[in-house]
Amino acid sequence: MNEVSEETIIDVYYQYRDRKMTSAEVKRTRMQIRQLVEGGYTLEEVERALKYVILNPPPNGFYSFGFLNHVIGEVLIKIAIKENKPPDKTSFDVPIINNEDVVQSNKEKFNKKSSKVKGTLDF
């Protein structure tokens, strides 16, 4: 298995872009990759998310690597669902709620409200 590096990710991105990259673009992309890594993502996760976005681009297209910074959490969740794996808890920050508590809470709300329907029409 090949080890993922910043250069590997940059190569994947610019193969997709299908044009020669300038040194400023490489520097900006490298900075964005480092921001993702500092934010808690691994290079492997960044590469997997990038490949997913390339294969499943948004409706308006995928024009900038910076787009990945905004959607990486959602993309990793979609990848985990597709692979039938539970998402990493750092990528999926939804609190776990006991279903019985929700049912009881809904019952209490219903009992407090009047079951009479207001504004009905008689035919």
10 pLDDT higher than 60: yes
pLDDT in tens, 22-74: 899 899 999 999 999 998 999 999 999 999 999 988 888 888 888 888 889 99
pLDDT in tens, 66-105: 888 888 999 999 898 888 766 555 544 444 444 455 455 5
The whole-angstrom separation of Cα 46 and Cα 75 is: 10
Q: Please enumerate in sequence order all residues whose Cβ is within 8 A of that of 6, keeping only pairs 6 or more positions apart, or say none.
A: 30, 33, 34, 43
Q: Rounded to the nearest 10 degrees, how much is the dihedral formed by the CA atoms of 71, 76, 78, 82?
A: 160
81 vs 18, which has greater pLDDT?
81
The whole-angstrom separation of Cα 45 and Cα 40 is: 10
